[in-house]
Amino acid sequence: MGKIKIKDILNGKYLQQEVTVKGWVRTFRSNRFIALNDGSCLTNLQIVVDFEALDEQTLKQITTGASIAARGVVVESLGKGQAYEIQTSEIEIIGVSDPEKYPLQPKKHSLEFLREIAHLRVRTNTFGAIYRVRHNLIYAVHKYFHEKGFFNVHTPIITGSDAEGAGEMFTVSALDLDHLPRTDDGQVDFSADFFGKHTNLTVSGQLEGETAALALTEIYTFGPTFRAENSNTSRHLAEFWMIEPEMAFYDLHDNMDLAEEFVKYLVSFALENCMDDLTFLNQRLADEEKQKPQHQRQEMGLLAQLRFVADNEFVRLTYTEAIDILRNAKPNKKKKFAYLIDEWGADLQSEHERYLVEKHFKKPVILYNYPASIKAFYMRLNQDGKTVAAMDVLFPGIGEIIGGSQREERYDVLVEKIKAIGIAEKDLWWYLDTRRFGTAPHSGFGLGFERLVQFITGMGNIRDVIPFPRTPGNAEF
């Protein structure tokens, strides 16, 4: 019989059968009990070794971190803590690991320390759980859209446009940085570069996604996006993954309905399919909360919070209504906000978003109809001439998890906006073409995948929910 996954053994499928398992030793106690983990699930498999049948050398090499194969019969365990175990006299050492030097000792390590050994942290319970939950969510995203008849579209990673118009982009170039070609006026001459123009890593697949929606009706992208913003926070990465659905014939309200249904589906999917890992993460968070002073602790545990979000309607309110609430909020009056709210038009900071969600409504909130001046150029201008049909979904502990809008489908209005922010029309000729030939009302949004994984795993820092985080000053591994 071939190699069997530990998960399947622990499900009871192989009782009384002889199996081979392969994995990494977590602990080895009393020269008799190996806790083996192969990553297929959180729980280790107990392997009971007949140490008299093993040679000294093999016994010595069964150390924390080593990879081994074990062959034996699956039996019901008499010991506490596990239902099944394997009894064996056949152990093969596959890869030795020096227990003195192995950085992961069988004890609790800080998340900060584990970030420094991101190549090994996946071997811990916490990161194994996060990787598995992350995988399940990726699968759920595709399942959700596929079953609704949306098509997945790959949009380019290298582009010549700035979708968000925020200028926070990484240049992609094959020029020799030590000998840059210059134009007559001293600028770098990108016409001599690989693509014959200045290119960058994409900040969003939306603009290309829109072209597909205006033919396939309902599409989504799910790809890596890059932002060169110097935000060293627990919610920002320079490289993150974004899911961007784009739908023809949807207005802003249809868009909000889809966003709410989608995130609830993902939370429910995790609850239905990742319960072992989520139960572990729930406990991890509860232990972490206990270290905090009473008044800083979260009211709800992780699982309770997830169920709450899956089962309750989100609050929907306009930016204007939100400003009224914030202006009169205690932390605003007592000057506790770092950015005080006094005028309509102010951009909302994460402290304001979190106040609305965590203190005022105690629910996820969808804010919509923002001032045009603080939102991207492609958002549809409302009748009032000063707000756009934008919407942000705000989550407890996270702040903005989704940003989206109805798009400006009117050619003339779009051209005006593009001009106003100083983008050359010729740079977006193809985007404008979609408004010249069979334009249609359409909408879409972007869900920050790591922020979602953060919410679902209860991890406080976004660097801990992506295998190898990219942040200012850090591109190790």
Does position 394 bind ligand 4AD by CB under 6 A? no
Of 266-274, 286-294, 307-315, 441-449: span binding ligand 4AD (CB under 6 A): 441-449
Does position 164 bind ligand 4AD by CB under 6 A? yes
Nearer to ligand 4AD, 163 or 418 (CB): 163
Strands (E), 52-173: 67-76, 84-95, 151-152, 158-159, 171-172
Report residue 345 CA to chain centroid gap: 30
Does position 444 bind Mg ion by CB under 5 A? no
Does position 364 bind ligand 4AD by CB under 6 A? no
Q: Which of 403, 444, 458, 469 binds Mg ion (CB under 5 A)?
A: 403
Does position 172 bind ligand 4AD by CB under 6 A? no
Nearer to ligand 4AD, 123 or 227 (CB): 227
Q: Enter the tokens of residue 228.
A: 């060169």
Does position 380 bind ligand 4AD by CB under 6 A? no
Nearest residue to the partner Mg ion, using Cβ? 403
Q: Which of 401, 428, 453, 466 binds ligand 4AD (CB under 6 A)?
A: 401
Q: Are 222 and 447 in contact (CB under 8 A)?
A: no
CB of 277 to ligand 4AD, least distance (A): 22
Of 135-143, 266-274, 324-332, 398-406: span binding Mg ion (CB under 5 A): 398-406
CA distance to 152, 361, 432, per residue, from 438 (Å)? 22, 42, 11
Q: Are 444 and 206 in contact (CB under 8 A)?
A: yes
Site for ligand 4AD in 192-211 (CB under 6 A): 204, 206
Give the total of residues touching ligand 4AD (CB under 6 A): 21
Does position 451 bind ligand 4AD by CB under 6 A? yes
Closest CA to 363 of 406, 321, 317, 329: 317
Closest CA to 442 of 219, 141, 146, 152: 219
CB of 172 to ligand 4AD, least distance (A): 18
Residues 6+ apart with CB under 8 A from 210: 246, 407, 431, 434, 442, 444
Nearer to ligand 4AD, 41 or 398 (CB): 398
Cβ-in-10-Å burial (0-12, 13-18, 19+) of 296 comes to exposed
CB of 367 to ligand 4AD, least distance (A): 12
CB of 223 to ligand 4AD, least distance (A): 11
Does position 469 bind ligand 4AD by CB under 6 A? no
Q: What is the C-alpha to C-alpha distance for residues 411 and 230, in angstroms, rounded to an integer? A: 34
For 413, how many CA atoms within 13 A lie in the half-sphere containing its CB?
16
Give the total of residues touching Mg ion (CB under 5 A): 1
Q: What is the C-alpha to C-alpha distance for residues 221 and 202, in angstroms, rounded to an integer? A: 13
Kindly list the residues in this chain that would bind Mg ion in the complex (CB under 5 A): 403
